């Protein structure tokens, strides 16, 4: 394993450049994002994710040299002080390592073959998005698609909320009109979630299905709702106004795979 470069000054240009990745606008411009913590780094390495650099403390390196040896040999390595790592990380108590991941900045990414997937319209809460990425991965669904006015798929809190599953099924930012047009050409049913819709227990999700969920406060936009093949809801007692978007999406995914398992 190559000897890491040691950095001790906060004025180091590499450190200063990395700290800028805490801003989502900088991430998008550079096509890079922060990967924080041992578990996230382990998942990134195991899935072969493209990593530009790894920043670590001396103590972390001593305990994780085997993990570090598995990364791509082109990944730069830097040993920094705990104080510098604290400035690089977005968490208050980083566990000793932060990496830089790379991603494609293509305006409209390639849409994979879809059988079951989620799309989110103007969803801003990173915890909700991360939870849905985790549920999509657990159910074998495709990626979670995010409208451009949703939270960034590379937001550090999104990554943390997935508990490492982000790298196995990374979310995709895309214009929803493009995605919905693609779904129609591929005969994928578009099912919009709304409290006024038909109970999901009475809907057929065995054909290829794209669920679309809306903003936490305002729900789905009328522009997106008008393109739905069906509008579905989760039954609730009358004194409950709505469910968390992450709960709704997870229930829909699991109902879909329950129906499909039953019809095998």
Pair 29, 82 in one domain: yes
Range 161-165 average pLDDT: 93
Pairing, β 97-102 against β 32-36: antiparallel
CATH of the domain at 20: 3.30.1330.30
142 with 209: CB under 8 angstroms?
A: no
pLDDT in tens, 51-86: 999 999 999 999 999 998 888 788 999 999 999 999
* Count: domains in the chain: 2
- CB neighbour list of residue 53: distance below 8 Å, 6 or more residues apart: 14, 18, 75, 76, 77, 78, 99, 100
CATH of the domain at 171: 3.40.1280.10
pLDDT in tens, 201-231: 999 999 999 999 998 778 888 889 999 999 9
Beta bridge partners of 51: 101
CA distance 165 to 151: 18
Of the pLDDT bands very low, low, confident and very high (cuts 50, 70, 90), residue 237 is: confident
State yes or no: pLDDT of 6 exceeds 70.
yes
Q: Which of 74, 102, 130 is the last residue of a domain?
A: 102
121 with 222: CB under 8 angstroms?
A: no
Pair 94, 121 in one domain: no
Q: Which of 102, 133, 152 is the last residue of a domain?
A: 102
Pair 73, 151 in one domain: no
Residue in the block written with tokens 């998005």? 129
- Angle among Cα 262, 135, 29 to the nearest 5 degrees reads 140
Residue 129 in any domain: the answer is yes
Pair 214, 174 in one domain: yes
207 with 242: CB under 8 angstroms?
A: no
- CB neighbour list of residue 44: distance below 8 Å, 6 or more residues apart: 35, 51, 99, 101, 167
- Angle among Cα 9, 12, 18 to the nearest 5 degrees reads 115
CA distance 185 to 113: 12
Of the pLDDT bands very low, low, confident and very high (cuts 50, 70, 90), residue 107 is: low
Q: Which of 71, 102, 133 is the last residue of a domain?
A: 102
Range of the structural domain that residue 158 is part of: 116-262
């Amino acid at each position: 394993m190559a000897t890491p470069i040691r950095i001790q000054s906060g004025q180091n240009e590499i450190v200063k450049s990395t700290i800028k990745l805490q801003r989502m606008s900088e991430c998008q411009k550079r096509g890079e994002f922060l990967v924080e913590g041992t578990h996230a780094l382990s998942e990134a390495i195991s899935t072969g994710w493209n990593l530009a650099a790894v920043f670590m403390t001396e103590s972390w390196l001593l305990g994780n040299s085997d993990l570090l040896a598995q990364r791509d040999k082109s990944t730069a390595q830097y040993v920094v002080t705990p104080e510098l790592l604290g400035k690089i990380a977005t968490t208050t108590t980083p566990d000793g390592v932060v990496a830089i991941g790379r991603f494609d900045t293509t305006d409209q990414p390639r849409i994979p073959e879809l059988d079951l997937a989620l799309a989110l319209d103007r969803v801003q809460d990173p915890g909700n998005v991360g939870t849905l990425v985790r549920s999509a991965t657990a159910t074998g669904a495709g990626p979670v698609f995010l409208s451009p006015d949703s939270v960034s798929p590379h937001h550090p809190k999104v990554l943390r909320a997935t508990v490492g599953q982000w790298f196995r099924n990374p979310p995709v930012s895309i214009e929803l009109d493009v995605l919905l047009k693609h779904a129609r050409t591929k005969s994928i049913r578009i099912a919009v979630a709304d409290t006024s819709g038909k109970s999901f227990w009475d809907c057929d999700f065995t054909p290829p299905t794209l669920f679309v969920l809306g903003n936490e406060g305002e729900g789905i936009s009328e522009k997106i709702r008008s393109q739905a093949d069906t509008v579905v809801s989760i039954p609730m007692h009358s004194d409950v106004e709505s469910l968390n978007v992450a709960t709704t999406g997870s229930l829909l995914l699991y109902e879909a795979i329950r129906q499909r398992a039953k019809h095998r």
